[in-house]
């Protein structure tokens, strides 16, 4: 089995991916400090640190953090959000891009635009800020975090369709 190193910025992801792939040969690198530092801007030192860690990882690498995703991808990692963006582009637009952390808006938008351009389609992206929910994730309240995202999106879609 191929080794896979997952780069996370929150410890909660370890159990999630272990449940998703219980027989896989996974190595987890958890660096909450990378997200914290990236929120202040992606400086040269942070870029180098992420790049070196990914290049030193055994096997393939997967980045589960959107905020550092572009740097991780440049270093050779696969971004976990890329297949989702590709699928959204395949389906077409408009696409609602919901985000819970301000630093994910620009990288998510850029990745979604790239997926649309790969399809030869001009993207129509509508952003839905859910930044008031991030504290639930940060506090380890995953179920509440997921429920409230679903509620906010459902409410927003209902308001748009009315």
pLDDT for 156: 80
Tell me which residue of 87, 90, 111 sits closest to 99, measured CA to CA. Answer: 111
pLDDT for 2: 64
Tell me which residue of 31, 38, 40 sits closest to 9, measured CA to CA. Answer: 31
Tens of each residue's pLDDT in the chain, 162 residues: 568 999 999 998 998 899 998 888 999 999 999 999 999 899 999 999 999 999 999 889 999 999 999 999 999 999 999 999 999 999 988 999 999 999 999 999 999 999 999 999 999 999 999 989 999 988 888 899 999 999 998 888 776 554
- Global pTM exceeds 0.75: yes
Instruction: Quote the strand ranges of 38-159, DSSP E.
Output: 60-63, 78-79, 95-99, 125-129
DSSP-H helix ranges across 57-101 = 69-74, 82-91
């Amino acid at each position: 089995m191929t080794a896979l190193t997952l780069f996370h910025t929150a410890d909660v992801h370890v159990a999630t991916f272990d449940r998703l792939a219980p027989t896989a040969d996974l190595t987890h690198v958890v660096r909450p400090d990378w997200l914290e530092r990236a929120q202040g801007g992606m400086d040269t030192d942070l870029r180098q640190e992420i790049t070196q860690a990914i290049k030193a990882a055994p096997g393939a690498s997967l980045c589960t953090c959107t905020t550092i995703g572009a740097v991780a991808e440049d270093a050779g990692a696969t971004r976990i959000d890329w297949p989702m963006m590709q699928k959204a582009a395949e389906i077409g637009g408009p696409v609602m891009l919901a985000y819970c952390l301000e630093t994910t808006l620009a990288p998510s938008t850029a990745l979604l635009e790239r997926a649309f351009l790969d399809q030869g389609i001009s993207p129509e992206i509508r952003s839905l800020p859910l930044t008031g929910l991030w504290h639930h994730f940060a506090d380890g309240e995953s179920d509440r975090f997921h429920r409230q995202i679903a509620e906010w999106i459902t409410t927003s879609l209902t308001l748009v369709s009315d």
